[in-house]
Structure 1
Amino acid sequence: MPAFFMMEFEIGYLGLLITSFLAATFLPITSEVFLVSMLVLGYDPWITLFYATLGNASGGWFNFVIGRLGNPDWLKRLKVPKDKIVRWKDKVQRYGHWLGLLSWLPFIGDIMAVALGFFRAPWFSSFSFILIGKFLRYLVIVSLFILGWL
């Protein structure tokens, strides 16, 4: 087993929390693998659900705050096409904080959380929907494991 995986299990729930946080950022990390691995090793399913959700939601909230701190000039410097900016602004204005429910999706979920912050979606409802979306995703994974389908 690679050393990185061993480190994950040596630091247990804290490792899952950190991995889940990092997975919610733009880093190419998948927290589901670590979550299921910990379940296979006998870690408590409900505690793993708690730490995975807390870590991943915190990462989503971090992305939201980064977006909120964002400056439109940065988008120009990064050469983000104006049509993409307009599309995301339209999505945030149309769907608002509901986009937070989809923030668990790979890569695009990170962009959704940043866009919610950047285009000034209400923070409390955005944070709440990010938390709910992340929780439901991990609840499905833990439930499938408990049922023996994973």
Structure 2
Amino acid sequence: MELWIQHLIEALALPEYGLSTVFVVSFISATLLPLGSEPVVFGLVKLSPHLFWPAVLVATVGNTLGGALDWWLGYGAHKVVDKYSHSSHHSRAIRWLEKLGPKACLLAWLPGIGDPLCAVAGWLKFPFWPCVAYMAIGKFARYVTMTGALVWAFPGSIRFWGG
């Protein structure tokens, strides 16, 4: 592995970089790169229980901004994708998405299809801010649910409900 990558990974693993690491990993995992951010959020919360809500919020912001980037990539790729518009699956999916509109971005949290969904929302020129709002709602719900479930499944001395 390149030495600079190893140093970067080591630096981001330090506790003082915990929330920034959560942001970076959440942002990257929301792009079309296959990466999960939940283990990073859970790891930080396990090490620093008082950071449950800040970690969830930072992960939500990072993941939502990554989804917004996907939206812009899709918006810019509109002309490139036109050559595939004759597929029956494509036509059915487009009709379904057009029917839902920006609300389809609530599903941006789904593994495998959520990130491309954000790109398609941009490609279809759905309104940017409503899409971002729906992305944020879905992603926030995912982080609260997933991190809460992991904390419940692997209990320890974590107290994040203000106790």
Same fold (TM over 0.5): yes
Residue from 130, 133, 138 that aligns with 1:133? 138
* Residues 1:61 and 2:79 are matched in the alignment: no
Q: Give 1:1-150 correspondences, 5 Å limit.
A: 6-10=10-14, 11-43=17-49, 44-76=51-83, 82-146=87-151, 148-150=152-154
Q: 1:8 to 1:120 in 2, by over 3 A?
A: same
Aligned partners of 2:12, 2:150: CA distance in 1, in Å? 19
How many pairs are equivalent?
Answer: 145
Normalised by the size of structure 1, how large is the TM-score?
0.85
Q: Following the alignment from structure 2 to structure 1, what is the Cα–Cα distance between the partners of residues 78 and 126?
A: 15
Does the 8 Å contact 2:108/2:115 carry over to 1? yes
**1:142 Cα deviation from its structure 2 partner:** 3.1
- Deviation per residue, 1:14-41 (Å, 9 max, x gap): 1110000000011111101111111111
Equivalent AA in structure 2 for residue 51 of structure 1: V
Q: 1:87 to 1:45 in 2, by over 3 A?
A: same
Structure 1 portions without partners, runs of 5+: none
Q: Deviations over 1:2-58 (max 9, x none)?
A: x68654422211111000000001111110111111111115101101110011011
Q: Any idea what the Cα deviations from partners look like across 1:89-114, whole Å, max 9, x if unmatched? A: 21221111111111011120011111
Q: Which amino acid aligns with 1:115?
A: V
Deviation at 1:63, TM superposition (A): 0.4
* Equivalent residue letter for 1:70: A
% of aligned pairs identical?
A: 26
Structure 2 unaligned runs (5+)? 1-5, 155-163
Considering only aligned residues, what root-mean-square deviation do their CA atoms show, in Å?
2.1
- How far residue 84 of structure 1 moved from its aligned partner, in angstroms, is 3.6
- Give the match's secondary structure for 1:26: coil
What are the superposed Cα offsets for residues 55-75 of structure 1, whole Å, 9 maximum, x if unpaired?
101111110111111233345
1:103 partner SS: helix
* Contact kept in structure 2, 1:8 and 1:16, CA below 8 Å: no
TM-score between both structures, scaled by the size of structure 2: 0.79
Q: After TM superposition, give the deviation of residue 124 of structure 1 in Å.
A: 1.8
Please give the alpha-carbon distance, in whole angstroms, between the structure 2 residues aligned to 1:38 and 1:80: 43
Query: How far 1:149 moved relative to its partner?
Result: 2.8
